[in-house]
Amino acid sequence: MQSLYDFNYEQLGEYALAQGWKKYRGHQLFQWMYRKRIKDIDEMSDQKKEIRTFLKERFCLSPLTLKDKQVSKDGTTKYLFELADGSLVESVLMLYDYGRSICVTSQVGCNMGCAFCASGLLKKKRDLSSGEMVAQVMYVQQDLDALQERLSHIVVMGTGEPFDNYDNVMNFLATVNDDRGLAIGARHITISTCGVVPKIYAFAKAHTQYNLAISLHAPNDALRDTLMPINRAYPLNELMKAVRCYGEENNRRLTFEYILLKGVNDQPQHAKQLAELLKGVHAYVNLIPYNAVDEHGYQGVSRNEAMRFYDALMKMGVRCTIRKEHGGDIDAACGQLRAKHMKVQGVKQ
């Protein structure tokens, strides 16, 4: 059954018109869903019974059911959801000084095959619909409603490659960003891509205010080819051309994510190459502590080693930060909880 969450504000108005209803009914439904955050269509008390019945016969609200929830000592909360077709997806709530952030999943599994990542252990089964992504945000927001707190930030960094599901992701973000609903600020929303170059151009030309993060993880093609298969399709010179286009079109700083992998991409020459690669680009580097994935055999670096790499970059004029770790005591790394459940269930893909 389709979810009402699949419609953005405009689409809901058009749907109302197409049924011969007044357009403002679309606005009312949107308010019920995202301002009052009802869990059942029958709670729309100002809608006639016939309308509610009509909607209930055709749509659900949330297409998710909760399968598991783990809360870390630092408050990081991992949600495991089941979709209507039995697929499992994860979302993570993270608590920061500046607000509450959710990490959203964009696909069931992932085909990008990055050598270090847990998500790619399970190949892509399908894209998530816009509504299935909206529903992750809504579930967590409804949890927070009990505490009178609100989600202020979204990162599209869960399982999946958002630019391999571009239209649905953009539709999802339009819904949660909408002022008439959750109103999560565009500048508080970040999309992370492994480097699907044609979609970086599309995104650059869309002129949204969402932040863009590029998963780089290697400063030269030879190494990036081994870590991230996408690099064989779109090598670094093409990626950097697209990144420059984004900068020209949007005049905004973007982020490069760089996981430090012991003995692989953490040496002084890598810092040097990275500084060279990013010369003249309005960007900063986010150094990410590696969440070890047993199956892959890579190791992270110590805090001191990370600091050395950080210092080397800063000395060469590259602005960078070291990402704080969250949920170290739960299965909070990308795809870990889902992979564990699938193993327990004996699911093979």
Binding site for ligand SAH (CB under 6 A): 112, 114, 116-118, 157, 161, 192-194, 215, 257, 259, 288, 290-291, 293, 333-334
Q: Which of 47, 136 has the CB closer to ligand SAH?
A: 136
Binding site listing for [4Fe-4S] cluster: 110, 114, 117
DSSP state of 87: -
Residue 68, strand partner residues: 80
Beta strands 283-288; 320-322: pairing state: parallel
Contacts (Cβ under 8 Å, ≥6 apart) of 205:
249
Q: Annotated catalytic residue: which of 60, 90, 194, 257? A: 90
Please identify, using beta-carbon distances, which residue of 103 and 138 lies nearer to ligand SAH: 103
Are the C-beta atoms of 28 and 157 separated by less than 8 Å?
Answer: no
Give the number of residues written for the chain.
Answer: 349
Minimum gap (Å) between residue 113 Cβ and ligand SAH: 11
Nearer Cβ to ligand SAH (174/288)? 288
Least distance between ligand SAH and beta carbon 233 (Å): 14
Minimal distance in Å, beta carbon 180 to ligand SAH?
Answer: 28
Q: What is the residue whose two structure tokens read 């690099």?
A: 231
What's the Cα-to-Cα distance from 243 to each of 87, 113, 127, 281, rounded to whole Å? 34, 22, 25, 8
Q: Based on CB atoms, which residue is closest to ligand SAH, 30 or 163?
A: 163
3-state DSSP call for residue 89?
strand
> Which C-beta is closer to ligand SAH: that of 47 or that of 91?
91
CB 278 within 8 A of CB 216: no
Catalytic residue selected from 60, 103, 194, 334: 334
CB of 118 to ligand SAH, least distance (A): 6
Structure tokens at 261: 């992998």
334 is catalytic: yes
Least Å distance between CB 112 and ligand SAH? 6
User: Residue 258 Cβ, how far from ligand SAH at the closest point, in Å?
Assistant: 8
List binding-site positions: 110, 114, 117, 160-161, 192, 215-217, 291
Q: Are 215 and 208 in contact (CB under 8 A)?
A: no
Cα of 78 vs its chain's centroid, Å: 14
Nearer to ligand SAH, 135 or 213 (CB): 213
Write out the two tokens for 230.
């996408």
Amino acid at 245: C
**What is the secondary structure of 158-180 as a DSSP string?**
SSS-GGGSHHHHHHHHHHHH-TT
Residue with the two structure tokens 């992998």: 261
Alpha helices in the chain (DSSP H): 9-18, 24-34, 49-58, 130-145, 166-177, 197-206, 221-227, 230-233, 236-250, 268-277, 303-315, 336-345
Residues taking part in catalysis: 90, 334
